[in-house]
Amino acid sequence: MQLRQQYQLAEKLERYLGDPEDPAAPVSFGAALEMDEREEYPIRQTAFLDNWNLCELYVPAHCGGRLGSFEEVFAILRVLSRRDLTLALSHVVTFLGALPVWIAGSDEQKRHMAELVRAGHKVAFALSERMRGSDLLANEVEARQDGDSYVISGEKWMVGNATRSTALSLFARTRPEGGPRGFSLLFVDKRSLDPARFRHLPKVPTVGLRGSDLSGICFQQCRVQRDSCIGPAGSGFELTLRTLQVTRTFCTGLSLGAADTALRLAADFAIKRRLYGANVYDIPHARAVLANAFIDLMICDCVAISALRALQARPGQASLWSAVAKYFVPTRIESVIRDIAVVLGARFFLRSEHAWSMFQKMARDSAIVSVFEGSTVVQLDALALQLGFLPDRGKTVDDTFNDRLRTVFSLDAPIPAFDPAQLDLFSREGDDAVSGIPFLCDHLRAAGASEETMNAARRVLDQSAHLTGDLERSRRLQPRSIAAFDLAKRYARLHVSACCIGFWIYNRETLDEFLGREKWLVNCLNRLFAEGELIEDARTEAELLDRVRAGRLLSAVPFSLSCGERNTYA
Amino acid sequence: MPDAETAAAEIQRILITELAQRIEVEPELIDPRQPFERYGLDSLNAVRLAVELEERIGCRLPATALWDYPSIESLAHHLAYDLSVRRISDQRS
């Protein structure tokens, strides 16, 4: 089976980066751990990625770069994240920082940004402030208009690459009274600033991502040209919300990369470690815990990959798809890592021995993903806000529906170019995944799915029918109430279920034998509704072993990883 | 433009009713010149209200309409004059 084009670059990068278990490899676990202990920024490693011209992938094709498919960048992000989240974030932050310019910048700004990024300069997204949490409109850094310039004052804090970046997308108050039209995003090239009027703040000590440049920047009446404003003045809040729809979807790649390494280490341990006269992997419970974690990873994959594809295929629905992905995947991966820690016993708590300290580092580093780029509650709030106002399903399911679903779910369907103008704060098109549940279930029946599969699908269908009335009534729920968030969680689970069914239907004939089985889909759906129960499936357990032995990604779209020949198991 | 004037007044009445229902007060207590914020409507709930009004008025509104026209009076004026909304969808037969 040939690897799909959008994953080929990730496989190439794997080969370029070498086997992370090999201390001599350019990006190794050993170096990542040592640097983490010393809280040292991965200078050599980011330069190694620059040499590979990874930055080209952060620049859209129409601006001279190679960015065409978000799914491709997502696969790359997993390759980096499975080695070291500090490295992944340190590098990919530039993509986030540049995104507002790709979405709303002028031609001149795009040219300038493309030049910076392609030359390997880092760009940061200076959004957060010390006292402001998720409340963007309370931000205080101001950019006061003065003739042909803005005069910037105030402090941004906990900003990735704040110090090491050459340029920033800076979120600043441009009307003293604030409000949703009172903020703008400014494209600030630090080299053009008066060095006496700004300073960097020290790196913030953190529990995870210890080597990253999470620092800040403080401006004192710092002057920038008026044309540094990205989009119209006053559009900063809206532009930030639209930018975050894209970036928060990518966050799932950080979680999934970390989970791959955590599960790989735990499975490796279980294969080698002898306990009670047998290998740990021979203990049914241990084996099931690991196999269920593997199923969880594939569920998360279905949501993440579909959401990434939907950014290009259905950008008008991104407010929903990205919120579900950012809510569901990082929190699920946090619980996956906790679950598999049980198999490692006390080792998961160690910082001294190589393999275990890597597990611990992944657990620590990935714990922040559910918080940044809009926390879990922010995502639930974004969902809850829209749920009462989704259009009737009857209106959204029409003759083009099958093609629409195919474009989102089928890995072989051509994907349209990203059109940022279509990103909307509220999905007027509804959500093709949840609207599509009856359609997808009919599809399964027509394809002759087994009784077991139909039972699993019917549970999704019943819950979806049940939800319709609750959605209507949700208009009257108090914002940010427990009931509103509970409804958003139920909704998210249905969206996730629909993504699993859609992913399976539209790819089953071209996926490998393991993923093409109906049982694969049944396992995903049962796991989603199992409420913590473990599923027993010998085929999944065997597949996990095979993947770990052969060095293939623990994903719904597996590709080959760089794993040395030292990986010889008993 | 008497047509537009009538429409603006009608739209204003609908906006007052909607907002009063939303925040559970009597319509008489709503001052159309006050910003929506004054009635506890934060930026994201203003997006939601814009979408809700779209249904009532039968005219496509940007999600950010209430950010750009932050009071009932300015929004009604914008709808009636700039977008030439003359009729309300609920009143169509």
Q: Read off the CATH number of the domain in which A40 is found.
A: 1.10.540.10
Query: How do residues A139-176 score in pLDDT, each as one tens digit?
Result: 999 999 999 999 999 999 999 999 999 999 999 999 99
Q: Are residues A510 and A376 in the same domain?
A: yes
* Cα Rg of chain A (Å, integer): 23
User: Residue B74: what pLDDT?
Assistant: 94
Amino acid at A13: L
Residue A317 pLDDT greater than 60, yes or no: yes
Residue A564 pLDDT greater than 70, yes or no: no
N- to C-terminal Cα separation, chain A:
29
Query: How do residues A373-394 score in pLDDT, each as one tens digit?
Result: 889 999 999 999 899 888 877 7
Is B43 in Cβ contact with A137 (below 8 Å)? yes
Q: Let me know if residue A539 belongs to a domain.
A: yes
Contact with chain B for residue A479, Cβ under 8 A: yes
Q: Let me know if residue A505 belongs to a domain.
A: yes
Query: How do residues A471-487 score in pLDDT, each as one tens digit?
Result: 888 887 888 889 999 99
| The domain boundary residue, chosen from A86, A121, A156 | A121
* A-B contacts at Cβ under 8 angstroms: 38
Rounded to an integer, what distance in angstroms lies between the CA atom of residue A290 and that of residue A538?
12
Q: Are residues A269 and A398 in the same domain?
A: yes
With tokens 């990082």, the residue in question is A330
| The domain boundary residue, chosen from A65, A100, A121 | A121
Contact with chain A for residue B45, Cβ under 8 A: yes
Three-state DSSP state, A174: coil
User: Residue B1: what pLDDT?
Assistant: 55
Which domains does chain B possess?
2-85 (1.10.1200.10)
Q: Let me know if residue A562 belongs to a domain.
A: no
Rounded to an integer, what distance in angstroms lies between the CA atom of residue A268 and that of residue B40?
55
A459: domain CATH number is: 1.20.140.10
Closest-CA residue of A relative to B62 is A424
Which residue would you say has higher pLDDT here, A457 or B91?
A457
Rounded to an integer, what distance in angstroms lies between the CA atom of residue A442 and that of residue A505?
11
Contact residues on chain A for B58, CB-CB shorter than 8 A: none
Q: Let me know if residue A233 belongs to a domain.
A: no
Token code pair at residue A413 = 């369907």
Q: Å from A182 to nearest chain B CA?
A: 10
Q: Which residues contact A442 (CB under 8 A, 6 or more apart)?
A: none
User: Residue A531: what pLDDT?
Assistant: 76
High-pLDDT (> 70) share of chain A, %: 98
Q: Å from A415 to nearest chain B CA?
A: 26
Is A385 in Cβ contact with B45 (below 8 Å)? yes
Q: Let me know if residue A109 belongs to a domain.
A: yes
Mean pLDDT of A451-456: 97
Q: Are residues A105 and A244 in the same domain?
A: no
Is B43 in Cβ contact with A479 (below 8 Å)? no
Rounded to an integer, what distance in angstroms lies between the CA atom of residue A566 and that of residue A499?
38
Q: Confidence band (pLDDT; 50, 70, 90) for B88? A: low
Q: Let me know if residue A481 belongs to a domain.
A: yes
| The domain boundary residue, chosen from A99, A121, A143 | A121
Q: Confidence band (pLDDT; 50, 70, 90) for A566? A: very low
Rounded to an integer, what distance in angstroms lies between the CA atom of residue A18 and that of residue A31?
13
Closest-CA residue of A relative to B61 is A428
Contact with chain B for residue A391, Cβ under 8 A: no
Residue A568 pLDDT greater than 50, yes or no: no
Residue A50 pLDDT greater than 50, yes or no: yes
Which run of H or of E encompasses A348? none
Contact with chain A for residue B64, Cβ under 8 A: yes
Q: Are strands A274-275 and A214-225 parallel, antiparallel or unpaired?
A: unpaired
For chain A, how many structural domains are there in total? 2
Query: How do residues A339-365 score in pLDDT, each as one tens digit?
Result: 999 998 877 777 777 678 999 999 999
- Give residue A471's domain range: 239-550
Which run of H or of E encompasses B42? none
CA–chain centroid gap for A189, Å, is: 27
Mean pLDDT of chain A: 93
Q: Which of B43, B44, B51 sits opposite A389 (nearest CB)?
A: B51
Is B48 in Cβ contact with A428 (below 8 Å)? no
Residue A242 pLDDT greater than 60, yes or no: yes
User: Residue A570: what pLDDT?
Assistant: 31
Amino acid at A407: T
User: Residue A399: what pLDDT?
Assistant: 87
Q: Confidence band (pLDDT; 50, 70, 90) for A274? A: confident
Question: Judged by CB atoms within 8 Å, which residues 218-247 of A form the interface with B?
Answer: 237-238
Q: Are residues A243 and A113 in the same domain?
A: no
Among the residue ranges A82-86, A280-284, A432-436, the one predicted with the least confidence is: A280-284
Q: Let me know if residue A252 belongs to a domain.
A: yes
Q: Which of A180, A382, A385 sits opposite B67 (nearest CB)?
A: A180
Is A237 in Cβ contact with B48 (below 8 Å)? no
Q: Let me know if residue A472 belongs to a domain.
A: yes
Q: Are residues A108 and A243 in the same domain?
A: no
